[in-house]
Each structure stands twice: as structure tokens, then as C-alpha cells.
Amino acid sequence: MILSFTDDYSFGLLIGFVCILIAFFAMMKETDDLHRLLLTDVIEIIALVIIALIGTDLAEALILPGLVVGIAEILALAEIYIEKEGLVKTPENFLKIEIMDTAPGILSAIMLIYGVILSGFTGGAVAGLGLLFYFLCRGSQKKTQILETISGYAWVCWVVAFIVFMTIPQYWFFAVMLAGTGIFAKVAAKMTIVGTMRGNRDV
């Protein structure tokens, strides 16, 4: 391929490589860990620019998981940094108001039922929010085990649905329903995990 630097893609790629050189040079010279963490974000942006230069739907489809991986990476590195430098601080008291003792049962039951009716991704989000609220208010000793079980069953639903799609496509409706149930359970379980992050012993 001959790079002419007159069309968008080649020119953008040239600028992108110059940026990469600058960013990695700065990264190489840097010794402070937190500065390095900030520079990781710069490198992520440059990588996204290079993907965006493709300029098609494919680029868009690649940028979205790139963003998710980027935020996950920043979160993980930030936590590791805090742990490494010993900057962990435990909050003195958790939020404690009366409504958190009375409301969770009925409210999460309503949201769970409505979520099951909605089904799929949206239903999973609604039901997960209800469960999140429940776990947030009631604490979560020994209850996290069941979330892992649900998550496992959701994977099984997905895999079975995929195999049905591939091998016996005439039963596609069954596979769609199975996949819908799977994503419902998966999203709900994942959102519930957020509710268990209240500094209990088992989390």
C-alpha cells in the first residue's frame, strides 16, 4: 500500500503515529505511577482515533467495546494503585435511614415482577435495580453465592440458544426466548452485584 498523505485515512494515520511516538516517549521517561496511569488514558484516546479513522459502521462497532475495556482498565488500575500505595480508607458509617428497613421487600418485589414482564435487556435492568436496592438495604451475608449460580445458568441459556441457532435453525423462536431469558438473568445478576458492594465481610 502506498501512503500518499492526501486522503483522509493516510493523513490521519500519519498524525496518529506521531501522537503514539510522543505519548510513548513521555511514558518511557515517566517514573511516577500515577502519571503513568494518566498517560494510559492518552494512549487509549490515540488508539480510538486510529480505529475511528476507518470511518465505517465497523469502526463504530469496534470503538464501543474499546471504550468499555478502557474504562474497565482504568478502574482496575486505579484500584490497584490505591491498594498498592495504601490509600484505602474505610467509611466510618454507612447510610442508614428508616425507609431502608421498611421499603426494600415490597419495592424490589414490584420491580422484579415488572422486570420479568418486560424481559430481555430492559427487564434485566429493571429487575436488577430492584434486587440492587434490596441487597443495598438488607446486607448480603451468604447471599452472593446464589448470584454466581444465576450467572452460570444465564451462560448455559446463551450457549444452548447459540447451538440451537446454528444446528436446528427452524426452532429459532425457542432459541430467541432462551437467549432473552439468559440476558435477563445475566443483567439482573450483574446489577445486583453492585448492591452487595457495601463493605461487607464477604465482598
- Asked whether position 25 contacts other proteins by CB under 8 A, the answer is yes
The distance of closest approach from Cβ of residue 194 to other proteins in the complex, given in angstroms and rounded to an integer, is: 14
Shortest gap between Cβ of 198 and other proteins (angstroms)?
17
N-terminal to C-terminal alpha carbon distance within the chain: 53
Q: Between the CA atoms of 56, 61, 62 and 67, what dihedral angle is there, to the nearest 10 degrees?
A: 120
Instruction: Give the per-residue contact string, 78-107, with other proteins (x = CB under 8 A; - = no).
Output: x--xx--xxx-x------------------
For residue 144, CA distances in Å to 81, 196, 203 come to: 26, 8, 8
Alpha carbon distances (Å) from 191 to 126, 176, 185: 9, 22, 10
Q: Which is nearer to other proteins, 81 or 165 (CB)?
A: 81
Task: Please identify, using beta-carbon distances, which residue of 39 and 103 lies nearer to other proteins.
Answer: 39
Report the C-alpha gap between 201 and 203 in whole angstroms: 6
For residue 13, how many other CB atoms are within 10 A of its CB?
A: 16
One-letter amino acid for residue 111 of the chain: M
Are 130 and 116 in contact by the 8 Å Cβ rule? The answer is no
Q: Is 3 in the site for other proteins (CB under 8 A)?
A: no
Residue from 2, 4, 31, 64 that binds other proteins (CB under 8 A)?
A: 64
Considering only 39, 107, 125, 194, the residue that binds other proteins (CB under 8 A) is 39
Answer for which of 52, 116, 160, 176 binds other proteins (CB under 8 A) is 52
Binding status of residue 53 toward other proteins by CB under 8 A: yes
Do the beta carbons of residue 100 and residue 135 sit within 8 Å? no
Q: Is residue 117 involved in binding other proteins (CB under 8 A)?
A: no
CA distance 51 to 49: 5
Question: Residues in the site for other proteins, rule: CB under 8 A?
Answer: 8, 11-12, 15, 18-19, 22-23, 25-26, 34-35, 37-39, 41-42, 45-46, 48-49, 52-53, 55, 59-60, 63-64, 67-68, 70-71, 74-75, 78, 81-82, 85-87, 89
